[in-house]
Structure formats: structure tokens, C-alpha cells
Structure 1
Amino acid sequence: MTASAHTTETVITGIGVVAPTGLGVEAHWESVLAGKSGIGRINRFDPSPYPVKLAGQVSGFAAGERVPGRLIPQTDHWTHLGLAAAQAALDDAQVVPATLPEYEMAVVTASSSGGTEFGQHEMERLYQNGPSWVGAYQSIAWFYAATTGQVSIRHGMRGSCGVVCNEQAGGIDAVGQGRRLLRADARLVVSGGTDASLCPYGLVAQLATGLLSVAEHPDRAYLPFDVDATGYVPGEGGAIMIMETLDGARQRGIGAGYGSVLGYAAGFDPPEGSARPPVLRRTIERALADARCAPTDVDVVFADAAGQRSADLVEASAISSVFGAGAVPVTAPKTLTGRLYGGGASLDVATALLALRDQVVPATTGTTRLAPGIELDLVLGQPRSLPLRRALVLARGHGGFTAALVLGRAGFASDRQR
């Protein structure tokens, strides 16, 4: 990496949120600070035949109000959410794509499930009526890169485009890739992710992991780090963000935006049963090194919070090993939304940036009694007002994906370099 790359500050200037906690940045943030949950009984289909009946669903979303009409029958609900979030992020950042060079705008999104609901309906037509009933758009609507493709086409973004398929970790990895592109030849990157796998086909695929909670009361279904943890609740939605260099944002008259991407690292856990330890601790240490900061420089950790006892213990041990037992506030606001897979870490990044903006750590709902071995200062009950300069966001995806991202308060990185 060149010396100039080290001094290229990446800032996030726009955020678009479509989440169970609300549509839009401020609606989401208001729900998070109030501890207002978006988890409830699944209503996108009848969940009665399935052991999992709860999920975090995006309510009040009407594709016809937020997505061009011609795209609605061509794309999945997951892409509808992504298109709406991307437009909201561009508006938030005051970006008019037509005024920027098309080959200097890039799109990198995270996806986990792809267009499962669209795909299920087309398979039903195939099995019930035959091949001639399957629509032509099946070939693209289910594909993991569909949201990236549709966003780039809609806004004329013809720079480097791609998709990261790392389950829950993908949202952080998409931001990491966005930073790489900005250090190369991109002027602006649309990054983040959404997911929407709440259909029978999608739910059954998730059940195969054995990690979902089958609890039927929303308040006790998703309890990360708790003695009564039984798994996690699935969800849909996520966040899309606009990434730029600080110089580029200043040239547009925007400034430091919501905050800076200071450090990033990714890893992959060894196979189950291996004698080698999980890589989360090392991933955190590498992200801190990339950010050129010490553990004592981090003011809050947004945890992955798997809600499964052994996975929670691994994460808690990694955090305690790096920062010290109970030495840094830890939170997991995803207990209000469920785990959103490709959209989950993206929403955590957006929430962490809002925490840095308003100098407050949101609380973790549901969890009341830490399980044995969990030595964390988990923020419970009410949000905690603190001086916040840097936040660490963690994410782990099913199969071993691990990622860590260090964020800085808006203007903080620039001030530090003066």
C-alpha cells in the first residue's frame, strides 16, 4: 500500500435505512433509542406450520411508492428494499449521479439469500404449470448481484461494481471493498446491503442451520449473551451508504458527513472441531492496527451478538481479550430487528455512525442476566451518554466469515492528523 493511500480518508456522507425499526435514518434511530422493537409474528406468509414464527419485518414499505413501476415485477422484495435505501442515501448525501463521471461511481452491496421470494413463486409456477409459466426475469431476480446491478443501472453508475456474499459479515466487507475502490479510481461508492428471506423457502433454508430461536414471545426470543439465549430471530431490511473520500466530499460542499472509516479487517474461522482458535480476536486486532489506534482508543463496540451460547462466549472472550474484561461498553441494537444477514452489519454500521454523531450508546434490549463467562460491560436498560470518538463494529457470518470495522466520529480523523 502506498503512503498516499494511508492518508486517504474515507467518509460516509449519506445513509438510507429500510429496517424493522423504521423507514429512514431518523425513524430508525428514534426507535433504537426508545428500545422500540420491530420483531413480531411473521405476516408475509402463514408461519403456523414452521417452528419459527417471529421475525423482524419492514412495515409500511410500499414498493410502488419508492421503486420505479417497471422494476417491481422484474425484481425481488430484497431488491425493492435496496433500491429504496440507495435512493434515500443518495438524497441524504445530496448526490445527483448525472452530474458525476459515470465510470467514477461504483456499487458494492452485500447479499446473503438473493431473491428467495421471487424464486419461490417462479418455482411454484414451474412445478404446478410447467416451464412455459416461468417468467424471463427469474434468470436475474434471484441472483445475488441483482441489487447491485439494478442500482448501477438506475443511477448510471458504470464504475467497478460487485457483490459480497459473506452472510452477516457481508455488510462490513462491502464497506471494506468500497474503501479499496476509493483508494483506486472511484470518486463515489454506493455500499451496504439489504436482505429479505421471509418466505417459506427462505425460512426453511435458515432453519437448516439450527441457530434460529423458536421462542414465541418477542421479548424473550433473541437474547444475546444472556443465560437464557436460545438462538436468534431472522429479519429483513438493512442500510445503504454513500462512501467518498473526504476531499471529494468537501469539493461537493458536504464535509465529513456522518463519520470516517478508519480501519477494516476480515478473517475466516477454522473448520469446526479444529484445534486452531476462532479468528475474531485476531480480526479485531488487525482492524485496530489498520486504524492505527490502541484498544483504549475505542469507546464502544457494536457486537455481532449471535444469540447462541457458544458463539456468544467466543465473541465475549475475544472482546475481553483485546480490551480487558468489562473495559469497553458493548451493545447489540440488532435485538430490535433480528439478524438481517446481508443487511445486518450494514445497519449496525449506520447505527454506530448515529451513535457517534449524537454521543450516545443505544441499549441492548431483552438481555437481562449475562451467561457465565460473559465478562462484558453490556449496555442494558437505557441508552448511555458518553464521549464517543471511535466505534468498533463486529460481524460474523454462518460458515466462518468474520469482519471488523473501526469508525471515527465526523471530523475526528482529520483533526487527529493536523
Structure 2
Amino acid sequence: MTDFHSFRERAAALDASDPLAGFRSAFVLDPDVVAYLDGNSLGRLPRRTQERLARFVREEWGGRLIRGWSEGWVDLPVTVGDEVGALLGAAPGQTVVADSTSVCLAKALHAAVSLAPGRDRLVVSAADFPTDRYLARRVAADRGLAIVEVDDLGTAIDERTAVVLVSHVDYRTGALLDLPGLTARAHADGAVVVWDLCHSAGVVPIDLDASGADLAVGCTYKYLNGGPGSPAFLYAAARHHARLEQPLPGWWSADDLFAMADEYRPAAGIRRMLTGTPPVAGLLAVREGVALAAEAGVAAARVKSEALTSFCIEMLDALGLEVVTPRDPARRGSHVTVRLADARAIAERLTERGVIPDFREPDLVRLGLAPLTTSFTELVDGLSMLAEVLDQVGPLD
């Protein structure tokens, strides 16, 4: 069995010098959890979110009732959107927070197709997240496009390509793609790109405006700590706003929200990508998580993320395990994936012991390392427990 003593000493030193270490106390830490290594699926609960939602229930919903809409709620999809956008390098007025990631993605894909008339292909990675591929197929079928699912996106883009859908970080392996480079490559052939930022928002520096991005979507419950099922964000570059069409027009995207007009007229700006009444409690929770990410700074989070993932890979190497995540820090996000026989059983046994990883079919265990909440010592505790599970006598079943 690997001796983790030296790793533990190094972890203590890294924690002592970590400029983001103080943020850990800003979150609720369950004493029964030895190591939470699933921040790439659901971030921890910020303490300030507990306080903010309690105040919302007591004073705003409870105290102001419907008057709350005219006292600020109505603007939340755009104002919180701008706060998210600031983390993504997006100027104000280009990002909204509303709906689920899947709904936002469907809207973005339809809008992207409308921006590329006369073309007949929608390109997506064959290894992308299932929902991304499901929606890409559906939108392609609805809009009369051929769906092209490939291993190498760069080689599949040509003059017939209308839209390219791509995840910034691979949800399985953690591989990080070149957002500016791939965007430029697609634009050179006249295609529109929709980026899925679910696994990069908040932990990877992103500059959507400077990169010339067209549209992007992402969830807020991972590294932005918005809570389970918190509303997603949708970015659309201002240069496209006048031509944006989406499949779900609703009163919240109308030019006059309360006119209740018989004829639908879309709002002039990013509000045209909204549909229905926004989830106020969810938006307030997102705002608190985003504020913490902004205080820490995405650049600082990236530095710690690279250190955490490098330390993690070093320990996995010491255990003799197969790491499928890129070893170059510049080419990976903030989770590390290891291939294990009996991966599901191992993940279950770890969870029983208070170490919470993430399992992906058929043989992958993901270790999500959230810079604001994961300590180096916590990581050592988790991987030392993994070593114990692997050293158990008898089959894992």
C-alpha cells in the first residue's frame, strides 16, 4: 500500500500557503464527509446563500408578496446574467440566467441555425455529453440539417457547416479545448459556434467577447455553487442580437413585458432569449455563488485548480492507476478522471466511507476538485481512502 505520509506533509504546506484557503470556511462543510470530490457535479452550499434565501423567504416573498416584482425581481435574469457574464469575459447585456441548461442549449442551437442560412450541417462531438447530442439531433431534424457526429471537430467543419456545438471541457476526461482557436477555425468557414461551458465556468479563464464567441450556455450548480437545479446561463454576442430567433418565445422575451400584446414582438437585446417567469429563489442563490467566485477571481481559481489536479495525478500515479485526463495542465479543466475495473463498486464503497467521487459508465471515476472548497489535505484523505479500498481483499462486486 502506498505510503501517503509524504503527500500529507506536502498537502499541509500547500494548504498553509494557499491564498484561497479562507474561502473554504465560507461554505457549509458536512462533518460526515471525509472528502468531497464531486464539485464538478454539484458545488457546496455557500453560507451566505443560506442567509440570503432565508431573508428572501421572510422579508421579500413573505413581506412584499407580488410587489417584489416591481422592487427588483423582474430584472434578475439580466442583472444576474451580467454578473455571470463578467466571469466569462462578456460585456453587460449579453448574458441571461434562466431555465435549465438543456432548455438554454436548445434555444441557443435554434438561434445559431438561424444565423447561418443556406447551410445544411450541424456538427457535434461524438463523445459530448448525451443531452448535447440528443438536442443537436433534434434541432437538426427540426431545421432540416444533417447531423454530423465526429471525433475530431476541427476536421469536420467546412463550407456546408451551419453550427458547431462543442463542450469547453470534456465531461468524462476533463480535457480542455481551445475556445478562441476553435471559434476562429469555425468562423473561417462561416460557421456559428455554440459553446457548452458547464465544466469550465468559474474555474477556467474565459473571454467570450475577445474570442469572438457567438453563443454559449452553461450550468451554475457546479463551480458557481448555485445549488441543485439552479438556473443556467445563456450568452449571445451583441452583434447577433438583431437576428436572434429562438423556438420558445414567451412574454418575458417580448419588447413590452406587461403589454400582453396579441402579436409577439421580441425584445431588442438579450432579453429576447428569455421565455417565461424566472425562478427568483434560484437566481438569488446563483448571485451569491457567483459573488464568491468573483471575489476569489477566476485567474486565482485556475492557479489552484492546476495545482490540485497536478497533485491528484501525482498521487494516482503513485497508486499505479490509469489516468485518462491530459497531463498538461493547460489542456485540462478542474476534474481528474481515472479508469478502474469495477469503477461503480469502488465509487460506492468510497461514498460509504465518506469520500464522494463521481462514477461514469463504464469504468471511469471522476474526481472533481473545486478550488474554493477543496483543500489539498482533503484530497489526500480521499485518495488514501481510495488506496484502502483498492487494497481490500476479495472481489469488488
Task: State the TM bucket, normalised to the shorter chain.
Answer: under 0.3
TM-score (norm 1): 0.27
The higher radius of gyration belongs to 2
Q: Which has the higher helix share?
A: 2
Q: Which has the higher strand share?
A: 1
